[in-house]
């Protein structure tokens, strides 16, 4: 009768690592979309599929959290971490959906720059998330978290530059609205990468 109170064989680190790997794949697909402008519909569908896969992992993680008596790190940290990780692909999918919905086929240099920074940030997120499993080298993980914060600052700067360029150079106000929305979704995704880094940094400092 006490079985349900015993610790489960649930690896939350598996959830983090699987989610992060899919997110890297999703941002790589988005970068390809805005770099080549080829097979836009197919790439948008793939991004949507990846977002659904990350949703499934998030749901399983939260479900396991409710069923697990003893967790490797604080329960609230697990929930916050997987939720913020999930937000990244939500914003990437939103940006891809807008490109498809607005039938944009000619990409801007700014959307490519934002996508590139975001992809690099998610690679770092995957590395930081992978380091949580054993905490053998906490300083290395903290360095990765600093790199993620730096990339988020870079995304902020690109967003400011790109919006300023839109208002200065784009004559069609509808196009200004469309691209501004896409840029902001990508920058929001970068913000979530920073949120993830901050949570991981807190875990490291607490447990190292």
118: Cβ–Cβ under 8 A, 6 or more apart, which residues? 27, 30, 31, 92, 155, 186, 189, 190, 193
DSSP 73: S
> What pLDDT, on a 0 to 100 scale, did the predictor assign at position 10?
58
The per-residue pLDDT for range 117-167, each reduced to its tens digit, is 999 999 999 999 999 988 788 999 999 999 999 999 999 999 999 999 999
CATH topology of domain 9-203: Methane Monooxygenase Hydroxylase; Chain G, domain 1 (1.20.58)
Band of residue 53 on the pLDDT scale cut at 50, 70, 90: very high
Compute how many other C-beta atoms are within 10 angstroms of the C-beta atom of residue 98. 16
Contact 30, 47 (CB under 8 A): yes
Per-domain boundaries in the chain: 9-203
Query: What is the distance between the terminal CA atoms of the chain, rounded to a whole angstrom?
Result: 36
C-alpha 73/C-alpha 10 separation (Å) is 12
């Amino acid at each position: 009768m006490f079985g349900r109170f015993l610790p489960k064989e649930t690896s939350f680190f598996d959830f983090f690592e699987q989610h992060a790997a899919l997110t890297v794949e999703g941002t790589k697909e988005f970068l390809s979309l805005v770099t080549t402008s080829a097979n836009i519909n197919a790439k948008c569908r793939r991004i949507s599929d990846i977002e659904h896969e990350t949703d499934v992992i998030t749901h399983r993680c939260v479900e396991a959290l409710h069923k697990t008596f003893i967790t490797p790190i604080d329960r609230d940290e697990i929930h916050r971490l997987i939720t913020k990780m999930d937000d990244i692909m939500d914003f990437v999918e939103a940006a891809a959906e807008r490109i498809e919905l607005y039938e944009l086929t000619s990409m801007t240099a700014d959307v490519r720059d934002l996508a590139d920074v975001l992809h690099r940030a998610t690679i770092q997120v995957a590395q930081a998330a992978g380091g949580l499993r054993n905490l053998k080298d906490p300083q290395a993980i903290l360095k990765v978290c600093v790199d993620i914060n730096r990339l988020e600052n870079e995304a902020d700067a690109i967003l400011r530059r790109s919006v300023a360029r839109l208002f200065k150079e784009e004559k069609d106000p509808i196009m200004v609205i469309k691209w501004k929305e896409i840029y902001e979704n990508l920058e929001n995704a970068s913000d979530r990468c920073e949120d993830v880094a901050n949570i991981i940094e807190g875990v490291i400092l607490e447990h190292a």
